[in-house]
């Protein structure tokens, strides 16, 4: 097949695909207009998130057999159109699930132990032991919202911490085991000390976490979001933190990740969040490690080979 790669990928992707006899065009600098003008030539596209795979583009991809998504999120892809045209979709959540899980645990431990705050203080000659007294994870109840690749991997990383783990997934059943209790959403809200979000961005999950929803948790809790920022707004986070509903927040994703395109309200609310010691940020890198960069390629190449074997 003739395959176009439109985003930056680990260099190993080329030989992996060429080994199977595919013609591969690596063009990470390509513009959307250039993709639209040339996409009809290709049997496959490999993407990250630069260009939305919307109907306008896909209608021009008259020979397209598959899209390979180097990552987990599918919110920029017109899945309905792809199903209509029988275009296969491969995504590589298995390639970065370990990275996401480790990042979530790392952020949680850093916040519990005031690592960022303490580091900055010591650099300035401030030796404040009491002000940096931490919390232990052991004995806490951790709730997982969404038990797919990311949620499950996070649970595996928590197994040595002597925590009680609850998981809720609206679309899965009978996944409980020795390490995780499958529960309904109301049960999770009644017991969680920590909530880690692992859901895709859909119309159902967008702005799901309103202030009313957060108030329905039985006790103050810490929030981890390595999924999609649009599930909770800056304003809601600030209100929940001000009211003591949230004890802290760990945010690898934001409702708007383009600082230069913040609205006036988003700018004001983000600046308020950024001034808090009990909020930690990272720039959407939870799944972005040196190892996952290559693992994603292996997952995609394997799935493409399996799907078209014998074609």
pLDDT digits (tens, 9 = 90+) for 252-283: 999 999 999 999 999 999 999 999 999 999 99
Centroid of chain to Cα 294: 18
Instruction: Compute how many other C-beta atoms are within 10 angstroms of the C-beta atom of residue 62.
Output: 11
- Return the residue matching tokens 């057999």: 65
Whole-model pTM? 0.91
Which of 91, 228, 247, 303 is labelled catalytic?
A: 228
Examine the pLDDT at 310 and tell me if it is beyond 70. Answer: no
Annotated catalytic, 284?
yes
CA 72 – CA 74 distance, rounded (Å): 7
Average pLDDT over residues 5-25: 93
pLDDT score recorded for residue 195: 98
Which of 48, 181, 276, 284 is labelled catalytic?
A: 284
Q: Encode pLDDT of 166-225 as tens digits.
A: 999 999 999 999 899 999 999 999 999 999 999 999 999 999 999 999 999 999 999 999
Examine the pLDDT at 72 and tell me if it is beyond 80. Answer: no
Q: What SS3 class is residue 145?
A: strand
pLDDT score recorded for residue 93: 83
Tokens for 109, please give them: 């431990």
Residue 74 pLDDT class (50, 70, 90 cuts): confident
Q: Encode pLDDT of 114-144 as tens digits.
A: 999 999 999 999 999 999 999 999 999 999 9
Please give the order of strands across the beta sheet that includes 221-225. 181-182, 164-168, 141-145, 194-197, 221-225, 246-251, 279-281
Which of 204, 257, 271, 291 is labelled catalytic?
A: 257
pLDDT score recorded for residue 70: 86
Number of residues assigned to the chain: 311
Annotated catalytic, 22?
no
Average pLDDT over residues 84-95: 91
CA 270 – CA 208 distance, rounded (Å): 19
CB 72 within 8 A of CB 91: yes
Q: Is 228 exposed, middle or buried (0-12, 13-18, 19+ CB in 10 A)?
A: buried
Angle at which helix 290-307 crosses helix 93-112, to 10 degrees, equals 150
Average pLDDT over residues 219-241: 98
pLDDT score recorded for residue 71: 77
């Amino acid at each position: 097949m003739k395959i176009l790669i439109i985003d930056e990928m680990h260099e190993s992707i080329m030989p992996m695909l060429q080994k199977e006899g595919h013609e591969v065009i690596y063009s990470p600098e390509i513009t959307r207009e250039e993709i639209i003008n040339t996409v009809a030539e290709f049997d496959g596209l490999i993407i990250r998130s630069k260009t939305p795979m919307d109907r306008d583009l896909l209608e021009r991809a008259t020979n397209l057999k598959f899209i390979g998504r180097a990552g987990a999120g599918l919110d920029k892809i017109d899945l309905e159109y792809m199903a209509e045209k029988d275009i296969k979709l491969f995504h590589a959540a298995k390639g970065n699930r370990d990275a996401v899980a480790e990042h979530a645990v790392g952020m949680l431990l850093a916040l519990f132990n005031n690592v960022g705050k303490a580091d900055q203080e010591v650099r300035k000659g401030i030796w404040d032991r009491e002000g940096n007294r931490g919390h232990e994870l052991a004995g806490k109840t951790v709730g997982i919202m969404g038990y797919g690749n990311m949620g499950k991997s996070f649970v595996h990383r928590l197994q040595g911490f002597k925590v009680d783990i609850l998981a809720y997934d609206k679309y899965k059943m009978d996944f409980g085991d020795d390490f995780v209790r499958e529960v309904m959403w109301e049960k999770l809200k009644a017991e969680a000390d920590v909530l880690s979000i692992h859901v895709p961005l859909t119309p159902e999950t967008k702005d799901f976490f309103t202030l009313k929803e957060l108030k329905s948790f039985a006790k103050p809790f810490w929030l981890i979001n390595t999924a999609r920022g649009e599930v909770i707004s800056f304003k809601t986070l600030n209100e929940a933190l001000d009211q003591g509903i949230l004890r802290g927040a760990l945010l690898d994703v934001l409702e708007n990740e383009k600082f230069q395109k913040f609205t006036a309200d988003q700018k004001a609310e983000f600046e308020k969040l950024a001034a808090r010691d009990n909020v930690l940020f990272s720039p959407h890198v939870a799944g972005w490690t040196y190892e996952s960069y290559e693992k994603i390629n292996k997952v995609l190449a394997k799935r493409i080979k399996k799907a078209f074997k014998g074609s």
